[in-house]
Structure 1
Amino acid sequence: MNHYQLHPLKHPNIIVTPPRPSDNERLAELLSDPRIYEQLASPPVPYLLEHADRHLAKVIPKSKVILQALNSTQDQDQLISAEGCPVSSIREVREDGSELLIGDISIDTVQSRSRRYREDENGRFVEERNDAKQPTAPKEPGDGVVEWAIGDWLAPSHHSQGIMTDAVDTIIQDWAIPRMQVQKIVCGAFTGNPASVRVFEKNGFKTKSIIENAVEVRGRKRGIHIMEWLVAPLVADGL
C-alpha cells in the first residue's frame, strides 16, 4: 500500500492524502461555506487564510512523523503498526492530473465529541439515554477498549455521490484496523444532518444516543447524534 495516498474503493478518481501547505487557500474557501461550517462545531467564522495556515501547521507535522516511522520500516515483511493516520485530505483527481481538495476525514483519540458530552462535572462518564445503565449492569460490547473518534466534511459540490461513505470505509478498513488496531470508533453529527448519519450507518455505525441542546455553537443550541462502531470480533463475542 502506498502510504502517501489511499484510494476509496468505488471512486477511482478520489484519493485520500496527507495534508499539504498548498491546501491553505482552498481550505479557507471551503470552510467559509455555511453548508459546511454549519455542520461543524470548531471552525471559526469567518474562516480566514490564517486559520487554515494555523491548522495545517498543526496537522502536517503529525502526518510527517507517522510517515517517517513507516518509511523507516518499509523493508520489513511484517505490517508495521502506526499511532495515527497520516492521510486526511480527500481529493478529486481531475482529467488534467491536478488534484482538487474536496474534503477532510480524520481519526484520533483526542477530539471525541461524544466523549465531551458524556462527562459530568467531575469528569466521569454519564449515560445520556433514558434507559441509563445501573452500576451493576453487564458490560456492553466495546466497554474498556480505546475509544477513537472520527470526523469528516465534504464540499457540497461532491455530496450525494457516495464519496464520503467510501472514504470512511477506506480509512477504517485499509488503515485504522490493520495499522492502528482500532476496535471502537465514535462519531457525532448535529441533529438535522441525516446525510452524515446515513454515511456512518452505511459503514456499520449504530446510534448510541441523541442529546438535545448538547452544545452551543455560534449562539445556537445544537443537538448531537452519537454513533458507535465496533470491530467485528467485539460485536460477535460481546466483549
Structure 2
Amino acid sequence: MTPSQLHPLEINPQTGEPFLRLAALHQNIIITPPRQGDQFVTIQHINDPAIYKWLENPPIPYLPEHADSWIQFVRKESDVTLDYLRKSAEEFPDGPLQFVDACPVRHIREVKEDGTDVIIGDVNFRRSPFEEVLDEVERKQMQEDNAKKQAGDPTIVYAIGDWLAASHHGRGIMTAAIGLLMTAWGIPRMGVRHVVAHTFAGNIGSNRTFEKNGFVNRGLFDNGKIARGEKKIMTLLEWKHEEVS
C-alpha cells in the first residue's frame, strides 16, 4: 500500500490536525502545526530570561503584536506545505512521496491527562543563513545560491532552531524532538543531508542537545553578531548525512 503524502504524520481523528509524537519516555509530547491561540503562552515563554537570552531575534519585551505577527507567519508557512502535500496526494496517488522544503509541524506540546495540550516549545528547519561565513558579501552570495535550490536537493544546507520552556529543561525532550524531526521528516521528506545549528557561546545545554543527535561542535566564531545591544560570540554545530554511522 502506497503511504500518504503526509507520511509519517499522524492525524488527530477529532480535529484533523497532523502531528508527530515523540517515542518512549516522551509519548505525551507531540509536535503540531502552529495554531491561532498559541500567542498567549508563547508570550509567557519568550519573555522568560532563561529562554530569550539564548535567542537572537525576538524583541524583549515580547508583546502581543509581536506574537500575533509571528504566529500568522509560521501558520502560513505550515499551511503552504500542507496544501502542497494534499495536492500531491491527488496528483501522485500511487507515489512517489514528494519532497518539500519545510516541516509543517513545529510547535512542541505537552498532552495532559484530560486530553488537552499546551505549547512548551518550538523546533524547525530553514535554509541556512551561513552565520559562520565572516565575509558579508560571500555570506550573502551563499544564502542566495542556497535559496535557489529546489526541495530535495541534497546540497541544500539547512539550519535548525529551537526553544523549550524552562519548566521542561533537563528532561531530554528537545533531544528527542530534534531527533524525531530529523529522522521522521527532514531526511526522508526534505532530503536533508547537511544541517547546521548556530548557538550563542555558553549555551552548553543546547550544544549537548545537538551533539546527542550527531552534530559535531566546530568551535566558536565571531561574525559581529549583536543581539538586543549585546555582542555575541557564536558556536557552529554541524551534521552531515555521511557522518551518521
In structure 1, what is the Cα distance between the partners aligned to 2:195 and 2:165?
A: 24
Provide the identity percentage: 40
Aligned counterparts of 1:76 and 1:64: Cα–Cα separation in 2: 23
Q: 1:81-120, CA deviations, whole angstroms, 9 ceiling, x for partnerless residues?
A: 212110110000011111100000010105x3xx134141
- 2 CA distance for matches of 1:116 and 1:188? 7
Residue 20 of structure 2 corresponds to: 6
Measure the CA separation in 2 of the matches of 1:119 and 1:224: 11
Amino acid at match of 1:84: A
Deviation at 1:77, TM superposition (A): 4.0
Among 106, 111, 114, which residue is 1:88 paired with? 106
Aligned equivalents of 1:176 and 1:94: distance in 2?
Answer: 27
* Structure 2 residue aligned with 1:172: 182
Aligned equivalent of 1:153, options 153, 163, 185:
163
Work out the CA distance in 2 between the residues paired with 1:83 and 1:124: 21
Tell me the residue number matched to 1:68.
83
Aligned residues: 214
| Matched residue, 1:16 | 31
Shift in CA distance, 211/53, structure 1 to aligned 2, threshold 3 Å: same
Q: Which has the higher contact order (CA 8 A, sep 6+)?
A: 1
Q: For 1:175, what is the secondary structure of its paired residue?
A: helix
Q: Write the deviation string for residues 194-232 of structure 1: whole angstroms up to 9, x where unpaired.
A: 00000000000001231257422222222111000011x
Partners of 1:104 and 1:198 in 2: CA distance: 17
Tell me: CA distance 1:17–1:72, structure 2 relative to 1, closer, same or farther (3 Å).
same
Runs of 4+ in 1 over 4 A off after TM superposition: none
TM-score (norm 2): 0.82
Secondary structure of the structure 2 residue equivalent to 1:106: strand
- Give the letter aligned to residue 53 of structure 2: E
> Which residue, 226, 230, 237 being the options, matches 1:220?
230
Q: What is the aligned counterpart of 2:135 among 120, 142, 145?
A: 120
SS of alignment partner, residue 119 of structure 2: strand
What SS is found at the alignment partner of 2:137?
coil
Amino acid aligned to 2:226: E
Q: 2:193 aligns with which of 183, 207, 212?
A: 183
Residue 6 of structure 1 aligns to a residue whose secondary structure is: strand
Q: Displacement, 1:161?
A: 0.5
What is the aligned-residue RMSD (CA, Å)?
2.0
1:79 counterpart residue number: 97
1:55 matched to 2:75? The reply is: no
Structure 1 pair 124/86, CA: closer, same or farther in 2 (3 Å)? closer
